[in-house]
Structure 1
């Protein structure tokens, strides 16, 4: 007698974002594409051997200061390793080594160091992140001569609801220097985010994807001890795959147009905010 195979409906695995990315969709509508007094150019490319190169240059029209960065990245996928070298115009060198999904599934360890030849200043940081269904944890140790600082965060998610906590402990002062809490809810086209920072700053945001090409965002913030409430509305419309228009009213009205130079085929990875 032949067995009847009944397909099993599996629930999709939901991994919550890290604490720093809570409310990110709403913030991006306000922040991306608006470069007041700043001219910036980003270029990315990849060699045949798999080495990724990215460079960024910016000029502040108010101060005249010009700055730039150069980054190379190589991924050794077989062993889950990523090697990154960084340099900027302040003559600071950085090296980052990351290993992911090797010790256990969902765990990422990163060793990050910087060195400034001009001043001789050195810094080091060990980062760890663990993400699985319904949970996203992070713990970073920032080494300093006065004493290491420990940064920790945790986000829990269940059926679209999110709750997170973020803290920083300064071992030199033996006290918490940061204590933030956030609650949110998200679906495919809607996100709600509220947060309390250090018990004094209160904020909230709403992100709504009205249709495939139109995104809107509302932001509200208040600091205890003041009578000032900050409120803003922003929207982004995707004209085509290579161009978009953004508008924002947050303290001041702003508009922006962003497009791809020559299209992805002739200028891959290049963006020009206007």
Structure 2
């Protein structure tokens, strides 16, 4: 646990040092003028530290390829070791750059077909429109969502609506930036019930190697995350959440260390004494292997630990 303790010390040191919050560390890239992230991407850097590179309880295979005509094909499958359930998916994507169009089709072993058409920067600069439809042939169930995202240098706004004649659900969110600060709001309104079903706020601070994200969801769940690029090879993150309804607190700390350009180690631990470890190795160009395990520290001798193996192929 010494490496994890070292990461925790470095993260706490960065919070205590005002210079790290207000000034990028030596060698960091200078900030560039760009749109703030959409609400769903706030805190993404921290979530990636905890989520990417772990496949507990799964055997996973993913293959990516691109045809001469520009069609991107992604096929994948996974096997849940405990239940034995096998799931697969196939995705094709084609971009018509001169018209700003992207066509995406997805199919999975639950026999669900998903079609997405996106139009970007044609109606107006910074505006992206997406029509997403889902169809289940066996049940005949159909659904659709119309999405829109508009970005400027200081503002990102998205508005989505389900295509339901009985009463669509409207989702909206916006993120505004001022210098290194971000403030966001997210809502969901059920027109059939004339009721606001989601009411979330978020505040964040970001610079090239330090990202702080805090949120309040429906006045019942509060939390935050901290991401720090300690050096070019080491990234660390802390995640904290508290639920008013159950009066429970969740705490996690994680890190990613790049051994070299082809290999990386990952580790994370939470207040439930669950320890996750991962190792990712680029075997050769187009082949990446990931091994991961989840150890239950409270029941170490009883077993029940999980392992995972994933292979990604790209041509």
Equivalent in the alignment of 1:55: 75
Residue 152, structure 1, aligned to residue 169, structure 2: no
The Cα shift of 1:12 comes to 4.2
- Within 5 A, what are the aligned runs for 1:45-194? 45-144=65-164, 146-194=166-214
The Cα shift of 1:144 comes to 2.9
Residues of 2 paired with 1:122 and 1:253: CA distance? 41
Of 259, 267, 275, 1:253 maps to: 275
Equivalent in the alignment of 1:24: 44
Residue 273, structure 1, aligned to residue 290, structure 2: yes
Residues of 2 paired with 1:12 and 1:230: CA distance? 34
- Within 5 A, what are the aligned runs for 1:197-208? 197-208=217-228
Residues of 2 paired with 1:153 and 1:200: CA distance? 19
After TM superposition, the runs of 4+ consecutive aligned structure 1 residues lying more than 6 A away are none
Deviates more, 1:170-179 or 1:188-197: 170-179
Q: In the comparison of the two structures, how many residue pairs are matched?
A: 259
Residues of 2 paired with 1:85 and 1:38: CA distance? 25
Equivalent in the alignment of 1:229: 249
**Quick one: structure 1 residues 207 and 120, their matched pair in 2 at CA, closer, same or farther if it must change by over 3 Å?**
same
- Within 5 A, what are the aligned runs for 1:30-41? 30-41=50-61
The Cα shift of 1:227 comes to 3.6
Structure 2 spans left out of the alignment, 5+ residues:
1-30, 292-315
SS at match of 1:25: helix
**8 Å contact from structure 1 (residues 41, 271) kept in 2:** no
Equivalent in the alignment of 2:19: none
**8 Å contact from structure 1 (residues 42, 271) kept in 2:** no
TM-score by length of 2: 0.80
Structure 1 spans left out of the alignment, 5+ residues:
1-10
The Cα shift of 1:167 comes to 0.8
CA-to-aligned-CA distance 1:100-146 (integer Å, 9 cap, x gap): 00011000001111111100000111000000101000001112353
The Cα shift of 1:158 comes to 1.2
TM-score by length of 1: 0.91
Residues of 2 paired with 1:167 and 1:197: CA distance? 10
Equivalent in the alignment of 1:8: none
SS at match of 1:90: coil
For the aligned residue pairs, the C-alpha RMSD in angstroms reads 1.3
Equivalent in the alignment of 1:7: none
Equivalent in the alignment of 2:313: none
Residues of 2 paired with 1:137 and 1:152: CA distance? 8
